[in-house]
Amino acid sequence: MTTETFNTELAIPCQVGALEARILYRENTASCGVIICPPHPLLAGNMDNNVVQALAKTLCKHFPVLLFNYQGVGKSSSSEPDLPLFEFWDRLDASGDFSAIISDSRTVVNWSRKLFPQNHLIGYSFGALMAMHVAKKEQTASLTAITPPLNAYDFSALHHLQTPVTLFLAEQDDLVQSGTFVQHHKIPVITLSGTDHFFRTREKELAGLVQKTLA
């Protein structure tokens, strides 16, 4: 098996144009791929996020990995192309209506079946919310939710999904209050001690733990 990693830029058609995407893969890797939903665009949420990149570089040794940017991020199209990124996403936050972003994320999953028939879905931070909503409608081999903002959004659907779910938390995460959610449910939880929501300098360790759960 070759150890060379291939990196291909993509444009995935969506309702408002196309989403910028990228696939990392090696020859003869598994037919089941990985799709990573990035964090919120106003919190370093894009394909080049430190955690997203660490996951991609580790997991592509075993799976083809598909990354993508949400509407208005990078080269991705926007339903309001004349609106600056901050204003566009600030408006979404104010309304609490992320249905268009969820729809785009589902489009990515469905489009990915051209590349691999099954997928492991991973969401980091806000991306965990998108991944959860996608998994409610689309078949996935597993769902990995990394530091989901449990106190900001309703994640109760995680407990009713038909796919295996694993939750990754950071011990010093000031952005996520997870105690009640974790105590009263049976989702497997892996907590990294001595780190916070952003996993700075601990990205590779996190990625290795995620790889073990997928293996």
CATH number at residue 16: 3.40.50.1820
Does the residue 41 lie in any domain?
yes
Does the residue 184 lie in any domain?
yes
Q: Are 27 and 2 in contact (CB under 8 A)?
A: yes
Does the residue 31 lie in any domain?
yes
Q: What is the pLDDT of residue 146?
A: 97
The domain of 60 spans 6-214
Q: What residue type is assigned to position 52 of the chain?
A: V
pTM of the model: 0.95
Taking the C-alpha atoms of residue 59 and residue 37, their distance in angstroms, rounded to an integer, is 14
pLDDT exceeds cutoff 70 at 175: yes
How confident is the model over 40-71, as pLDDT tens digits?
A: 999 999 999 999 999 999 999 999 999 999 99
The count of structural domains within the chain is 1
Does the residue 1 lie in any domain?
no
pLDDT exceeds cutoff 90 at 73: yes
Does the residue 167 lie in any domain?
yes
How confident is the model over 97-134, as pLDDT tens digits?
A: 999 999 999 999 999 999 999 999 999 999 999 999 99
The conformation of residue 41, written as its DSSP 8-state character, comes to G
Q: What is the pLDDT of residue 183?
A: 59
Q: Greatest CA separation found in the chain?
A: 49
Does the residue 196 lie in any domain?
yes
pLDDT exceeds cutoff 80 at 29: no
Does the residue 122 lie in any domain?
yes
